[in-house]
């Protein structure tokens, strides 16, 4: 898969109106028409956006409360309760700012690009609703500048809204440098403030002092699209699918050894095996799945019956993350693939924090030695020690993600580790790679 491909294919499935309780909500329009929705299509399907009620309003139920009872959580990876973020920004003094995070820097993820391509106005509606709810006057939409087609499409969508005088707030499109850590929320704020698109760390937290030192609400594009539907159809509607603890649907990008890779919308709680089946099923016997992307967790094939919820995945050390699922076949070497993923993550360190700057390349090198069968006797204990020292020691969670990947690979491919240590690299290690990894070279620019 090429990261700059703007419109990946999604399997056509059952068609459903968003009023239905089925799993298709964000992509309902796409499934019904098979073409991207312009403003006319969007308004015909969903009607005019409701007049948002501001936080603290006495006249009707504020959006923050509706989102809270809907139980929406962030779909960008961290899974933080959306209402809590809205409230934190709304309660601050001063004009707030809303930032739409559409960076989607995870190379195996396509869901935000797909959503923005087929239903841009759902995302923009959500951003405007959120802005009104927290008292913001500006919405900044952040995209990577490498996705020129997407920038153009979104700019057209913004023109449509402007001509229709739809929005009471300013919407501004920004094209940022494309690097793995540039999608981190503090990196967006730093770039919008004129700096490099590198994570800033905290304090101050962005909800206290973010863009132009104003309280700043940052949400992933998909999260805002869900919010737009909640504002229209209510929290009870939202809860009609998913699990009671983790309601609603989520977008997942399925790739690897499946018949029809693509973006799916599934109810939270859908077993991973069902998601693989909906992608046409595996093309060969599966050894493992990589859940959550390059900074995700390897799960062995026995765990594919696990439902896609934070609660069910937590005991396995995994999380739904940004909804990336890579099906991994028996015929490939998990250690070699992990070594390449780690080399990429190491190259994409922002080189700001010592533990990440030095620790990531060291772990990646150890892994390469293990994968190629050139391990020294101390390798495994050194690898465990270095991996354990990555989490919680950076301005952002980049090293934590790399550590999660490395540690889970040692667990899920424990048999291979043993074989690589004692008998050298397996035959599969010499076969071509199965997980497409962009070249492991540092980003050209941060500004």
Residues that bind other proteins (CB under 8 A): 200-201, 352-355, 358-359, 386, 389, 393-395
Bridge partners, residue 256, by sequence: 327
Residue 375 Cβ vs other proteins, minimum distance, rounded to whole Å: 18
Can you say whether residue 391 is alpha, beta or left, with left for phi > 0 and alpha for psi between -120 and 50 degrees?
beta
Minimum distance from CB of 378 to other proteins (Å)? 12
Contact at 8 Å (CB) between 446 and 198?
yes
CB of 207 to other proteins, least distance (A): 18
Q: Which is nearer to other proteins, 149 or 388 (CB)?
A: 388
Decide whether 182 or 200 has the Cβ nearer to other proteins: 200
To other proteins, the closest distance from the beta carbon of 220 in angstroms equals 24
- Per-residue HEC secondary structure of 215-254 comes to CEEEEEHHHHHHHHHHHHHCHHHHCCCECCCCECEEEEEE
Give the shortest CB-354-to-other proteins separation in angstroms: 4
Shortest separation between residue 395's beta carbon and other proteins, angstroms: 5
User: Between residues 358 and 419, which has the closer beta carbon with respect to other proteins?
Assistant: 358
Compute the half-sphere exposure of residue 40: CA atoms within 13 Å on the CB side of its CA.
1
- Residue in this structure with the two tokens 């859940």, named with its chain if needed: 291
Length in residues, the chain: 447
Smaller CB separation from other proteins, 395 or 428:
395
Give whichever of 31 and 393 is closer to other proteins, judged by the CB atom. Answer: 393
Closer residue to other proteins, CB minimum distance, 329 or 394: 394
Q: How far is the CB of 177 from other proteins (least distance, A)?
A: 18
Least Å distance, CB 390 to other proteins, is: 10
Structure tokens at 47: 């009607």
* 342 vs 353, beta carbon nearer other proteins: 353
Q: Which is nearer to other proteins, 175 or 389 (CB)?
A: 389
Q: How far is CA 432 from CA 203, 311, 329, 333, 428, in A?
A: 44, 36, 13, 10, 8
Angle at 150 between CA 146 and CA 151, to 5 degrees: 75
Q: What's the distance, Cα to Cα, between the start and end of the chain in Å?
A: 26
Chain centroid, CA 420 distance in Å:
33
Least separation in angstroms between CB 398 and other proteins: 11
d(CA 328, CA 255) in angstroms, rounded, equals 9
Dmax (CA) of the chain = 72
CB of 78 to other proteins, least distance (A): 19
Nearer to other proteins, 23 or 395 (CB): 395
For other proteins, which is the closer residue by CB, 172 or 205? 205
Cis check for the bond before 203: say yes or no (omega within 30 of 0): yes
- What is the rounded distance in angstroms from the CA atom of residue 296 to the CA atom of residue 300? 13
Closest CA to 9 of 324, 262, 282, 265: 262
> CA-CA distance, 167 to 160, in Å (whole number)?
11
């Amino acid at each position: 898969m090429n990261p700059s491909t703007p419109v990946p294919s999604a399997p056509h499935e059952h068609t459903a109106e968003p009023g239905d309780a089925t799993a298709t909500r964000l992509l309902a329009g796409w499934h019904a028409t098979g073409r991207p929705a312009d403003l006319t299509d969007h308004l015909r399907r969903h009607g005019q956006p409701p007049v948002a009620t501001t936080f603290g309003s006495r006249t009707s139920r504020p959006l923050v409360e509706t989102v809270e009872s809907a139980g929406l959580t962030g779909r960008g990876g961290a899974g933080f309760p959306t209402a809590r973020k809205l409230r934190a920004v709304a309660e601050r003094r001063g004009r707030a700012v809303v930032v739409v995070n559409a960076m989607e820097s995870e190379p195996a993820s396509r869901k935000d690009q797909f959503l923005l391509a087929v239903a841009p106005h759902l995302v923009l509606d959500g951003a405007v609703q959120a802005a009104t709810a927290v008292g913001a006057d500006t919405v900044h939409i952040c995209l990577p500048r490498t996705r020129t087609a997407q920038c153009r499409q979104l700019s057209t969508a913004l023109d449509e809204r402007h001509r229709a005088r739809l929005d009471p707030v300013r919407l501004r499109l920004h094209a940022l440098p494309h690097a793995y850590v540039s999608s981190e929320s503090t990196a967006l704020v730093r770039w919008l403030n004129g700096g490099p698109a590198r994570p800033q760390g905290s304090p101050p937290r962005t909800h206290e002092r973010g863009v132009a030192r104003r309280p700043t609400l940052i949400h992933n594009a998909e999260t805002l699209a869900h919010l737009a539907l909640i504002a229209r159809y209510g929290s009870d509607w939202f809860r009609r699918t998913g699990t009671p603890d983790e309601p609603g649907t989520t977008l997942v990008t399925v790739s690897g050894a499946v018949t029809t890779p693509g973006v799916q919308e599934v109810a939270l709680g859908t077993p991973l095996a069902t998601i693989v089946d909906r992608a046409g099923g595996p093309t060969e016997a599966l050894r493992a799945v990589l859940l959550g992307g390059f900074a995700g967790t390897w799960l062995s094939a026995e765990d594919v019956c696990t439902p896609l919820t934070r609660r069910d995945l937590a005991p396995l050390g995994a999380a739904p993350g940004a909804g990336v699922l890579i099906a991994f076949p028996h015929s490939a070497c998990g250690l070699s693939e992990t070594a390449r993923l780690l080399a990429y993550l190491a190259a994409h360190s922002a080189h700001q924090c010592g533990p990440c700057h030095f620790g990531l390349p060291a772990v990646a090198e150890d892994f390469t030695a293990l994968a190629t069968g050139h391990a020294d006797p101390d390798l495994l204990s050194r690898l465990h020690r270095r991996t354990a020292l990555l989490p919680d020691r950076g301005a952002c969670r980049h090293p934590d993600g790399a550590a999660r990947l490395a540690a889970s690979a040692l667990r899920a491919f424990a048999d291979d580790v043993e074989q690589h240590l004692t008998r050298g690299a397996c035959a599969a290690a010499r076969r071509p790679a199965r997980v497409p990894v962009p070249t492991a070279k540092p980003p050209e620019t941060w500004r």
